[in-house]
Amino acid sequence: MSATFTLALTVLDSGSAQSNPEDVLIRGNAEQTVRELAQRLAAYLGRPSSSSAAEPLRYGLRVERTGEQLRPDAPLSSVDLLEGDRVILLVPRGAERRRPRWADDPDPDATGAAPQVIPLRRRPTAGV
């Protein structure tokens, strides 16, 4: 038999420029995962459950008090989450990350040299 709980939290939406804290009361069982709680909170805040490519979005949670990002597969009974905590809903990117275009371009001088990191702003040199 799984223990049930009721927990008051304040939720902030990291993906919203105008995030107003939302005080919510969570009721659930202690064996549900952080991922399930994050999905429920995202739905409550009006966040989409899937990307434009119809893939499910996986939200996360970070506890403001500790700065810890909670492991998605951890049961709620095993995480450091206290009554009145402020949690930040971590919004996933809607698309996969891609390599920058220049990483796939052939070397223009055909020397076979490794790609270089080029500063966007030159550092001042001593004595100038």
CATH number of the domain encompassing residue 85: 3.10.20.90
Model confidence pTM above 0.85: no
Overall average pLDDT of the 49-59 stretch: 83
User: Is residue 51, in this structure, part of any structural domain at all?
Assistant: yes
Overall average pLDDT of the 11-18 stretch: 78
Query: At residue 34, what are phi and psi to the nearest 5 degrees?
Result: -60, -40
Per-residue pLDDT at 73 = 95
Q: Where are the alpha helices (DSSP H) in the chain?
A: 34-44, 101-104
User: Is residue 76, in this structure, part of any structural domain at all?
Assistant: yes
User: Is residue 109, in this structure, part of any structural domain at all?
Assistant: no
Q: Domain range holding 46?
A: 4-90
**pLDDT of 27 over the 60 cut:** yes
User: Is residue 101, in this structure, part of any structural domain at all?
Assistant: no
Tell me the three state secondary structure of residue 76. helix
User: Is residue 57, in this structure, part of any structural domain at all?
Assistant: yes
Per-residue pLDDT at 72 = 94
User: Is residue 128, in this structure, part of any structural domain at all?
Assistant: no
Give the chain's domain count.
1
